[in-house]
Structures are given as structure tokens and as C-alpha cells.
Structure 1
Amino acid sequence: MDPKPPQRSATMASNLTRRTSVSDDEAIPDTDSSETSNLLIERLRAWKHLCGNLEDYVSTTARISKSQSKDYEKILKTVSEPLKEAHHFSGSEGGMAGLFQNMRTNSQGMVNMYLETEQTLKGSVLPTLERLHKEVKNKAQELKSGAAKGAKAVEKARQLTQKHIELLGQHSASHDSAMSTKLEQQHDPYILKRQINHRLNKQVTEENNHRNDILTVQNSFQQFEAHILQTVQTALEQFHQIMGSQLDRQRAMYADILGTSQRIPPDFEWINFCVSNDAKLVNPDSPPREFANISFPNQDHRATKPLLEGSLERRSRAMIKGFSSGYYVITPARYLHEFKDDDDFRKDPSPELSLYLPDCIVGAIDGVKFNVKGKDVSNGKVGNAFHTTTELSFKASTPSSAEKWHSTIKEFTNGAAAAAAAPLSTVTSTAPSTLTSPVSPATSTSPASSVSGKKEAQPPTYTAEKPGETSKAASPTTPAADVKGKPLSRTASSGSYFTGPGGTAAGEKS
């Protein structure tokens, strides 16, 4: 079996017995009669301070609740204004507008709740603790006044007893030293002893009365402290109910906000937005646009249609690179454009080379080859390199294609009359041919200069032809110019004749 805990009453009794046994042997105990009362008064002071601390705790909580109410007013302001761009959200209860209305309502409820908490704490819990504080204070004041009165009586009685004990000792010693000496009647040791007995008895009575009063107070302390503790427990129970109710209400408000947001269907706002802005949103049922079905102004204007287009090869300026392929177009604007390819979508189709044909000179065709002399007016690499008029050599895939390109270019060049002349015959380096220049009707025969191995061949003289006119054949009566000397030798790699402005031909090496 478990040992029984020590009984408090037995402990108190043993202590009192010890103190009594020590003090009963002495007439004037060496103890302070106010010691016990001072100890009890100090204990009541401790309870009083404890009650004050509880009052501060509750009052500070109430003050903070009021402060939190103001803080929640700041929170309320964050949702009190209408939503920005509110027209994008549904105004019904089941959407975001309804959620924010719920947040405003619950935030206002929290503001009111904290104010109610502050008022409840000040109206119920705090007064209970204040009354308890006052009871402890009155108890201490009562003990202090009653104990002080009894302690003064005991001290007075002890002083009288002590005085007569000292007189008895003094006159008892005088009586032993001088028996013949006469003592005063009031100094007779016998009388002094009886007076001591009287005063000691009175002292003991005062001490016992004071002890009984203190013991009564001491015994009542247990009950009084139980009352203090019960009052504190009751106050804290009220405090718990108030604060717990506040937390439950606040938790319920936040749960309500969460529940309102969770009840919004995922597509609620989007469906309402689509219905409200049906005219502005893309119709998912409409087919995507196709480039082939799109038209724009002047799409089919005659100036946008090429006169001739296709692939040609052009000799690079660096002779070792030979010919490189490109996509060429002759436009009604009288330009010859070169492109990498005919793809308009992969990148911006900016010309690599652009020749304005009226400013160019075209040479005679030589099989699949022909030359054009002019200045590149594009902003490409070729145009940046060709700062002056340069001869460009082109090669078609077939003679018929070369003839088609040559004739089309010739129509727009200033040397159209010269280009209308018979083309140079293709010869090899071992089979020289004789070049006969055509004769213009407006002039007589044009002599040809003899060509020697040391001198360069001089080109025949051509007459300019107005645009739109065809070159006239030489009159049968007009004798052809004789070509004296060594006949002119022409090869595929040799120079060609170009018709320049004014109808004169100029020689240029490729």
C-alpha cells in the first residue's frame, strides 16, 4: 500500500509545540510578538500582488483586443473597395464578387468580435479580480490593525514585568549584602515578587489573548486562500470561455471564407466572361485563316506580275568561283532582280542584286551566255561591292532560255537598236569568223577596222533606235563594208559587244 501523505495539521502542531516548549520556560520570551502577524501580512501582500498581476493580464488582453479591432478595420479596408476591372467578373453570388462580399462580411464580423471581447473582459472577468484584490487588501488591513493592537499590549505587559524583575534582582542583592540596612517597603523583595507574579500573569494573559487572535487568523487563512484560488479559477474560466469563443468564431469566419471560395466552380467566371464578351472573343468553331484565301488591294495589279522569272547562273567576281545559281525576275518596273530563291515565307525576299535596265547595256548572246553591263542599285552585298558600272555574265540552262532572257532584257536597255543586230557567231579559238556589222538606213557603210594580233578589235558602229521601233535592214544597194585585215576572232571567254546610250557600241572584256 502507498504510504499516507503527511498531515499538514500534524506538522503545524509539532512546530507550535516546539515553539511553546521553548518559550514557556522564560518569563520574557526572546521572540517577537508581531512575527507571526507580520508573516501573515506579508503573505496577504503577495496574494494582493498576484491579483494585481491577473488584473493587468486581463486588462491588457482587453486593450489588445480593442487594438486588434482597429487592425482588422485596416484589413477590412483592403476588400472594402470595389474590385478593379470588376466588369470582368460575374456579379452573382456564386463568383468572385460574392467571395469578396463574404470576405467583407466576415472581416467586419471580426472587427465587431474583438470589440465585444474587450467589453466582455472589462465587464465580467476584470471586476471579479478587482473584488478579490479588494478583499485581500481589506484582510491585510484588518490583520495589520488587530495584530498591531494585540502586539502592543503584549509588549507593554512584558516591559512592566521586565521592570519588576530587574527591581527584584537589584533589591534581592542589596538584602543579601547588608542585612542591617533598612529597605523601603515598596522595595521589599517579597512585595516585588508578588507584583511580578501579578504582572507576569497579566503578561501571559495578553500573550495568550494575542496568540489566540493570531491563531484564529492563521486558521482562517486556509479557508481564505481557498476562496482566493476559487475566485481566480472562476475568473480564468470566464476568460477561457470568452477567448475560446472568440477563437472559435474567428476560425468559423475564416472557414466560411474558405468554403465560399471552394464552392465556386472552376469554369464559373470563364463561362460568364465568355457570355459577356462573346462578340470580342475568338470563336473556336471558326476555321483558321489561310494565306491562299486572303486578298489585298492591288494584289493582281499588272505591275506586280513578273515579265520573266526563273533560274540563271551568274559568274562571280572572283573568277575561281565560277558560276553560281540564283533566282532572277524581270519586272514591269524595268528591273532585273536577283534572289536566293523564290520562297517568300522563309525570310524577307530582299533582292541580292538589282539592275535598272534602262541604265544598262546588254551584249550579244553567245549560246547560253550573255552579258549585261550596269550598276547594282540594291542594298545587298553585291550592291555594296559594285560602286561603279560593272559587267555581269549570265548563263541560262538552254539556248532557248538564254534567247528569251536576252530578248526581254534587250527591250528595256538604251542600246535596243544595237541589240537588235545579228548576234555574234560562236567560234572556237581555232576557227575565226568574220563579223559583219549591220548598216543603218540613215548612214552609209561603216568601215571596219582591221584587227591585228597586237591591237584590240574595234567594235562596229551602231545607230540608236528609238523605243518601239524595229531596226531596218540594210538597203540592197548599199554595199557592205569590207573587213580588211585579219578577221575578228570571238570565243566564249572573250569580250562581247555592248550597245551603249546613243547607239554606239563599246568594247568590254568579261
Structure 2
Amino acid sequence: MATPTSPTNNVPFRTTTAMTDEDWTPGEDTSEVTKLFHERLQAWKHACGYLEDYIGATEKLHHSQAKDYEKVLKTVSNPLKEGHHFAQDLGGIAGMFDNIRSNTQGIAKSHTDTEKTLKGSVLPVFERLHTEIKNKQKELTKGAGKGSKNVDKARTASQKHIEKLGQHTATFDSAGGKMTAANDPYVLRRGVMHLLNKQIIEENNNRTDIIAVQNSFSQFEAHVIATLQTGMGQFMQVVNGQSEQQKAIFSDITATCQRIAPDFEWNGFVQRNNTVLIDPSAPPRTVNDVAFPNDRHRATQPMIAGSLEKKGKLLKKYDTNYYVITPSKFLHEYKTDDDFQKEPAPEISLYLPDCLVGAVNGQKFNVKGKDVSGSSIVNKMSISHEFQFKAHTPADAEQWYEVIKAAAGNSAVSTELAPTVSDSAPSSPAVAQGEAVTAEKQSTPLTTTDLPPDTTTAATPVVATGDGSAPVSGVEGKPGQY
């Protein structure tokens, strides 16, 4: 018999196509793969069942033939009538009938022994194989099948959140951007990214399980075929002694079974299902590969984003956080700009049209308003607070101030919220001169005209480097890149 070759060396697999907004789900449907393997195991189980039935029917046939030969034996069991007319020595007529009786009894016994051998030695081979296939089905259901359900659950959660994002981006377009902080498309998009990350983790975990199952199926099927060959070989040895005719018949059946290569069925299976099986050489998916509806909607792109320092209420010291101003006119505070470590819910959300904005004083500016990041009931009970912010440079502070003023509206600008600089004494004539200019700005009334339409889009995001060094500012960046 030819040496089996590895079935995975030249296996064709489908390839994953690039995804669009309309088709953001993965091309690999692991639930279909699991279903296909269930059907595959069911086919092998039925094939094994057919052989069990065949061996069982042959066993019953030999049992019946043994009974029939016992009936035949009864025809010659009595002594010959008038037997005294024949010599009782061996080689005579009486000895001939003794030989007939012993051989007939031997034929009946041979059928009985064949029945017992088939039932006790050959049939258990196929019964154990049947049990192994059933266990393989249970293993598939508890392993890859359970992982496929988790993937479907994660995909459903992502789809619902994407649909919610679509609803509120449409509301933003039709209602002029007035909405709650929880329904801010920017916040919803970050939630989508979080759920997609969880979905892809589930997909990749399940994908690894499916590939392991897929690779193990080749070895399992080789084991199944080898077991079938062993069982059929034993069957041939048992029935071969019955007669030369039966030997020729069952030798042909077994020879046909023996000619099956271990990878013959597997290669044919892969060739017929190359559009469903997974290519193990394809790289795992990442969030960057996913495109979904409204991913780049203008309501999801920040007007300005970066790190600022906020003065605490109790300890009166400045802590650095990540802030963003969205087209929905919210100022959101986050601990970090990472969407994946935990749910990216804002720590503080200020609706700027309802806030008072103080003038810039050096690196500092103040905003007074209510935190609306909680539920509707909590938002009604909340009171206004004055938040004191400090940028990394006076230019960054002016840039943040202009964007906040444009989002809040000039009617919300207050000259009573000018921050103090008591904790930052000038260290050089240049700094003192800058404070003099700031004081001059505070004494000059703020203009009531709106900023030009492109003021918010031209504002350069202030991006924290994340390594403790000074943040990068003054570099024009695209929305959402931070």
C-alpha cells in the first residue's frame, strides 16, 4: 500500500476578501465549519453503523447455519438399521457414516465458533470505533461548537451597538447635534471599537480551536480507516475457513477495503469543501482590518483632542487626563485614549452650550458647568462646578480656548472665570511680559461675533506622547488621529 501523505500540504482553502461598510462581518463563518464537521462525523458514524449491521447479519447467518447443520446431523445420528450386515471396522460402511457424523458435527461447530468469534472479537472493533466517533462529536460540540456560539453572541452585541451608532449619527445630522452624552456618536463609536475588540478576540480564539479540530480530523480519519481495515482483516480470517467460495467473496470485500489510502477520503473531502474550510496560513484579524458603517462620520471625529491638566477639588493639585471636544459640543474627560483595556466611558462630560467659559490666562482657562455623563436622573440632581484646566503651553491653551468658545457660543463666554496664576510665578522677563499681555486681554471685552466656520476644523489636536515628555502641539493633524 502506498505511503500516506499529509492531507494539509496541498489543501486549497478559501481566502477572506476585503470588507466594506455594508459587509463588515468576517468572511469566515465558523458556525458553518462546525456544522460541516458535525455532518462529516455523522457520515462516518453511519458508515461504521453499516459495517456493524453487516457483521451482525453475518453472525446471525452462521448461527442459523449451525442450527441447520444440527438438523442435517440428526438424519445420520441413529445407528444403521440392519447394521450387523456391515463391518464395524474403520474403512467400511459403518466407518464412513461415523466420518459423516463427525464432519457434519464439525461443520455445525465451525459455524457456532464463527458466530462467537464475530460477536466477541470482530464486532466490538466497529462498536468501539462507533463510540469514538460519538465522543468526537461531543468534543466538537463542547469545544468549537461552544466557541462558535460565543462568537455569534459577540457579533450580535457589536451589530446592535453599530446600529445604535447609526441611529444617533442620523439624529445628529437631522437634529443639529443636540443629544445626551451617552448617545454622543463619538462615545458610541468608542463603544463599538470596544465590542469589536472583544468580538475579534472571541473570533480568533474560536478560529484557533477550529483550525486545531480541522487539523486533527485528518489524523482522526486515518485512525478510522485503519480501524476499519483492522476489523475487516479479522473478519476475513474468521470466515475464510468456512469455504473457498466464501473466502473468495470476503477476500474481495476486504481487499477493496485495504486498498483505501488513509488520506484518500480526507483529500476528497477538502477538495469538495474548499469554500468553507479555513486557511491556517491566513493571518488573524485585527481591529484595524474592520470597516463598519459611520466609522468616519463627521460626528465621530474630534474637533480637538489631547492631554490637559485639571485642578482637583480637594487636593488642589493638577492631574493629567485625556480630553476631547466633539462636534456634538461636548467636552469629555477620559483617563486615557485607549479604547481596548476597558469600556471607554467618559469620566466627565460637559455640554458646552450650557457652560460658562473663562478667558485664557497664560496656560490656564476655566469652564463652569454640570457634569452630564451620568443617567438622566443623576444629571438633573447634579450642580455646576468650575473646572480649572492647564495646557502644556500658552499656545495650546489659546487653541483649546478658541475651540471651546466656538462650541459653547459667545453668549457662554464669561470674564468672571479668569484663572489665577498664583501657583506659577514668572521666572523670566519673557514670562512676565506674557502675563502682562494676558492681563491686557482680560481687561479687553471679548468679541460677540462667532468664529469663522473653519475655526474648529483648523484647530490642531494636542497629543500626549505617553512617555512623560512634553506633549506635541502646533502640528496640524487629521481628526481622530491621536
- TM-score, structure 2 as length reference: 0.47
Larger C-alpha radius of gyration, 1 or 2? 1
